[in-house]
Amino acid sequence: MVLNNLAASTLLKPLCFTTGTPTSPAMSATPIFSKYCDLPRDLKLQIVQDAAEGLMEIRQSSRIMRRQFSLGQYACIDLVWQHVIERQTFERLYINSSTIDRFGDLCSKRHGILRQVCLDLHPAERYLGPRLSQSEPDLEARATVTQSIEKLFGVMKDWDPAERRQPGLIKLRISIYRRQGMEGPPIYCEFANLPQVRVIGGVRVEYGPYLHLSSTVALYRKLPNFHHISLDLPTKPMVPSSIQDATDLISSLRDLPRHPKKLRVSGHGFENGDWLGIETQLPIIQFLTSPDLRWSGTITKLDLPCINNVPRFFHDAQNTLWPHLKTLKLTGGMFDSAPIGSRRENGSSVLRGLIKALPNMPKIITVTIIMKPSVERSHFSFDVYLRTSSVPKRLSIWSRLPFVPRVNTGFAMISEVTVPGQLVTELQDTVQRYQGQELVVF
């Protein structure tokens, strides 16, 4: 059952109260659905979930609604409403250095329903003049980051994964903001005193350059149950220096307590208007496929933004078995001076590489490849979906597609580039042979 905003707001007039007294005038009207209390719990839950989604849309429609509209009043209707509203409220929480203690008090008994915790840090930095870019980061900023994360891990250290009521573990997002003009060296934190936290499954450090990458790796060492790694590799105008720094960082991942299931590795930037991408020269594939590590055997989702040479990636990947890989996303640059001919050849090279790699990816469901030009022209892309359930919401309305996919039929979209029909046929034959599915290409 899907309710629009009007239906949701109508339904939210009191249905039938089982406990207490209405807490607001809006909730004291005559019930419009007096049989609500007689419904089975599962049906009640479905109705309330759909209504709550409508409420969230109303609340998020404007800043005024976010300030004035509270979901708390509806949690008093009955236990089903309380359950759903509690899940909606605690699905994602934003905290900062000053609210960590309050977060601990509020969530100590509710951590089982948390999905994501977003820690926003605004370290106070003293302006040190032009020398800041060559000097050590402000010690006060380092202390702020270290103490805040230590306090948060101290709050969460005793939370038990067995008490989770949501699927999966908690995602931690750390955002470090610096004032404009304070782009100094990254903040280095050892995190030696952090306790282990078992309920965090992954960490994403937003604005990654503001925290030293070795500090991010140190965080993962304190997460015995992590399954998702996200890293923004250091990139400098001097490519050899960037390669050495990134190689050292990748090598340090060998000491982690377990292999991840999801991996995102990015390393890019801009210098004087030029795209800096270094993955082509990084040992990412060699690292994932090395005999003493074999992360390729556990990875289910691999996301590599800004990888310069996508065909080379497939060339290296085809010699390794990826038994559990379901989602692959590659975003690369095109550094061609002849836009038309090179563009067509780039598209053909990418498709050939994909065809050769697919036999070693028996469980692959979604492949997304985006090639961005180095000048202002439209990018071209390949999107392959082998299950209708994997189709993103933007394409979930089948009227936007030239056909209606069947359950056992995948489809591929090739945008802004022409490829030889022979390669398209070869792609279809490969999917049929190794994935056992038909593939519609357009």
Q: How far apart are CA 266 and CA 235, in angstroms?
A: 10
Work out the widest C-alpha separation in the chain, in whole angstroms: 73
Per-residue pLDDT of the chain (442 residues; tens, 9 = 90+): 232 332 333 333 333 333 333 344 344 334 455 677 777 877 877 777 777 677 666 666 656 555 566 666 777 777 777 777 777 777 788 899 999 999 999 888 888 888 899 999 887 654 444 444 444 556 778 888 999 999 999 999 999 998 888 788 999 999 888 665 455 677 888 898 999 999 999 898 876 557 888 888 899 999 999 998 887 766 555 555 556 666 777 777 777 878 889 988 876 554 443 444 544 455 666 777 666 667 788 899 998 876 767 777 888 778 788 899 999 888 876 544 444 446 667 778 888 888 888 898 888 888 888 876 654 455 667 777 766 555 555 544 444 555 555 556 676 777 766 777 788 788 888 888 877 777 767 6
Burial degree of 67 (CB within 10 A; 0-12, 13-18, 19+): exposed
Q: How far apart are CA 326 and CA 418, in angstroms?
A: 26
Residue type, 270: F
Q: Go through 213-233 and write b for each residue having 16 or more CB atoms within 10 A of its CB, e for each that does not.
A: bbbbbbbbebbeebbbbbbbb
Q: How far apart are CA 246 and CA 51, in angstroms?
A: 48
Q: Go through 358-388 and write b for each residue having 16 or more CB atoms within 10 A of its CB, e for each that does not.
A: bebbeebbbbbbbbbbeeeeeebbbbbbbbb
> Is 397 strand, coil or helix?
coil
Assess contact for 242 and 236: CB atoms under 8 A. Answer: yes
